[in-house]
Chains A and B, each alone.
Chain A
Amino acid sequence: MTGAPVIAIRNLRVVRGATEVVRGVDLEVGRGEVIAVVGPSGSGKSTLLRALNYLTPFTEGEVTIAGHRLRPGLCERRDAALLRAVRRRVGMVFQSFHLFPHLTALENVATAPRHVLGLVAGEAERRARALLDRVGLATHADAHPHALSGGQQQRVAIARALAMEPAALLLDEPTSALDPGLVGEVLEVVADLAARGQTMVVVTHEMAFARRVADRVVVLAGGRVVESGPPDAVLDRPRAPETRALLGLDPG
């Protein structure tokens, strides 16, 4: 880890209704670091991730991300400038892609550079084509999302997030909605990003993938970090009973 962390989370709590979904999480992500967040369903993984760009507001604590500080009680309208500044620098990839169905693959990728960053059309398109090429979809630039497979759609979604040249990329279970045969192509793209030094936080169920690309694995259970460390340590010599349960081992 060099210099200031890209993401610093302090004592993050998220209460939704009567439930405390995230119960005090502290985490730092350095530049170029890849964090895999694992844990059982309902452990608060996705909520934690969505709190980082404030798509889900949090109740307590503080998030410093890409040089901006987020605090509880921000308002989409009043604090629009701050939230836009954060989201401009932090990319997000969703479990069910959320591609824009009325736009082609190329337009999906080019729209934010063009309209958020203000690039001229030609420049935005060049950038989009290069990214589609990087995720192996150069020949599908003019296809609409409905004409693409799930794996292809998710690769377009990754290209769309990368088009903003984000300081950090958040991936929320990027392969959970895919047929097993299509998981590999998406993981390859993410692994390639890791190799290029892209800072990433990936919520995932793919343990083998976590072991391969993550610098650190964070295990979340019941809204708390129960264990974290290098993949080998966490996945091969798990100490917390929640981690052992997650890996299908005896409680030890």
Chain B
Amino acid sequence: MRGLVAGVVAVLVAGGSAPARTPPPDALAAVRARGTLRWGGDMQGGEPYVFQDPRDGRLVGFEVELADALARRLGVRAAFVQADWHHLVPSLERGDFDVILNGLEVTAARRGRVAFTRPYYAFAETLVVRRDGPAFDSLAALAGRRVGTLGGSLAADVVAAAPGVRAVLYEGVEEPYGDLERGRIDAVVLDDVIAARYGLVRPALRLAALVGEGTYAVAVRPDAPALLGAVDAALGALVASGELRAILERWRLWNDRQTALAAVAAAPGDAPPARLGGVHVALFLRAAANTLVITALAMAIAAAGGLSLALVRRSGGRVARGAVTGYVELFRGTPVLLQLYVLYYGLAPVVALDAFTAAVLGLGLNYAAYEAELYRAGLEAVPAGQTEAALALGMSHGQALRRIVLPQALRTALPGVTNDFIALLKDSSLVSVITVVELTKQMTITAVDLRGWLVPGLLCAALYLALSYPLARLARRLERRLAPAAA
């Protein structure tokens, strides 16, 4: 047994750190044998990178054309693999595809994990603000302000490096500009390609300054030098032949910066990989507090709302009962993620909730549907004789409900409610999609900083457990105290 464990550990260590004794067959040979170059990207990045043509759903974009041209040079076909942009590097490491070709910025942090070809595009980080707002002209002027950007991007590093600026991290490129227009944030920092298409097309917004520059390049696994060499050479050939320029011009991306591609220096904000330190722990603790507050407030809404729904369902009119049933089915039958999107982005033109409010409200409204069902079951479990006995004593229906029926119903519902409380604690991680930084989001941010998921992941898990375990204990004690101490 011990020998087996030791063997497994040895294999893990060997696989995890030092290169294996027999080098793996190079990815280039695999690409040639397969006849396809699998390239990873995220369609959510939108025009002009990789996106679906709205007319026929075909995949288009300058990176699609670039991938096709590169594959042609390698004598194979290009095959697109969809992946979440934030997880492109881990997906590459897992072998989901051969290369990343999707606006991946060349940074020192990424160089530690992947190998980059020569760059194929040079961009500038643009600071976009509202026309009618204060005349911000630099990041320094935005100290204490909220600045939106794409999580995990070079732009996010630029914002994070600006002292006093509060970064608001988005998952997509459309939403930050929408929120800027509505005044939820004070500025947006993103690549000029994005700014030109999603930000500056809005008349209310203007370009304030360029606050950094960088390049996109193709990334391959560091253990595939032959593939790296082949793709780099193919890219070089595309540059030399003018094919790359033709593609970029077709997408209106050609500008002066591209002519000096090879000379581009590392972008500001580039930093050596950080080590887990006191700052990270402090950030984690703050995120944990945020998670706890969101959970507690959402649960308060869910508990009160669920009880109201259950009571209307019990004794309301036919229309009211139907409405409650509709509410419960709607909120139980659709993903909470969708509800958060609708609440924060969908309703923004009507009522622009701030992210925290939307998070608490969204989770609370969703869980209210579940609590309503728990309370309903609890109410139905109280025998009719209890109400009769209360009425026979001269109590009003309200008193009978409040003093006799509800205490018994809540006791029945309690185990389910506390269970939901713990589930909600974990579901609160979903609110990161509407820019709230809670525990899970902090974990992904730190993981990018540290270039590794293990330590932040364990820290994150430990904090969730530290929150949920006392909650479970408290719930059990509450149940024991309230239990009718079954005879």
Contact = CB atoms under 8 A, between A and B. Distances in A.
B485 A55 contact: no
Contact of B389 (A88, A98, A146): A98
B485 A53 contact: no
A91 B393 CA distance: 7
A77 to B, nearest CB: 8
Contacts of A102: 407-408, 411, 484
Contact of B484 (A53, A146, A161): A146
Contacts of B486: 146
A115 B396 CA distance: 10
Given A111-B403, A144-B484, A146-B487, A100 B389 contact: yes
Given A112-B394, A116-B394, A144-B485, A100 B386 contact: yes
A87 B394 contact: yes
A84 interface: yes
Contacts of A164: 393-394
Contact of B392 (A85, A87, A147): A87
Given A80-B397, A144-B485, A147-B487, A94 B389 contact: yes
A67 interface: no
B393 A116 contact: yes
Interface string B369-402: 0000000000000010110111111111101000
Interface in A144-162: 144, 146-147, 160-161
B311 interface: no
A128 to B, nearest CB: 13
B142 interface: no
A92 interface: yes
Contacts of A84: 394-396
A53 B392 contact: yes
State which size class the interface on B falls in: 20 to 34
B393 A112 contact: yes
B404 interface: yes
A100 B411 CA distance: 13
B485 A115 contact: no
A102 to B, nearest CB: 5
Interface string A61-95: 00000000000000011001001110110111010
Contact of B391 (A85, A87, A99): A87
Given A102-B484, A160-B393, A116 B388 contact: no
B396 A94 contact: no
Contacts of A43: none
A101 B484 contact: yes
Interface residues of A, number: 30
A59 interface: no
Interface string A165-195: 0000000000000000000000000000000
A161 B411 CA distance: 26
B24 to A, nearest CB: 68
A52 B292 CA distance: 55
A151 to B, nearest CB: 15
A164 B404 CA distance: 17
Contact of A87 (B393, B403, B484): B393
Given A96-B385, A100-B389, A160-B393, A115 B403 contact: yes
A76 B397 contact: yes
Contacts of A76: 397
A84 B386 CA distance: 16
Contacts of A147: 485, 487
Nearest to A55: B388
A83 B395 CA distance: 10
B401 to A, nearest CB: 13
Contacts of B396: 80, 84
Contacts of A77: 397
Most buried by B among A55, A102, A111, A146: A102
Of B392, B397, B404, the most chain A CB neighbours within 10 A belong to B392
17 contacts: A55-B388, A55-B391, A84-B394, A87-B391, A92-B392, A98-B383, A98-B388, A100-B408, A101-B408, A102-B484, A112-B393, A115-B403, A116-B394, A144-B484, A146-B484, A146-B485, A147-B485
Given A91-B393, A98-B389, A146-B487, 20 more contacts: A53-B392, A84-B395, A84-B396, A85-B394, A87-B391, A88-B394, A90-B392, A91-B392, A92-B389, A94-B385, A94-B388, A94-B389, A96-B385, A100-B408, A101-B408, A101-B484, A102-B411, A116-B399, A146-B484, A164-B393
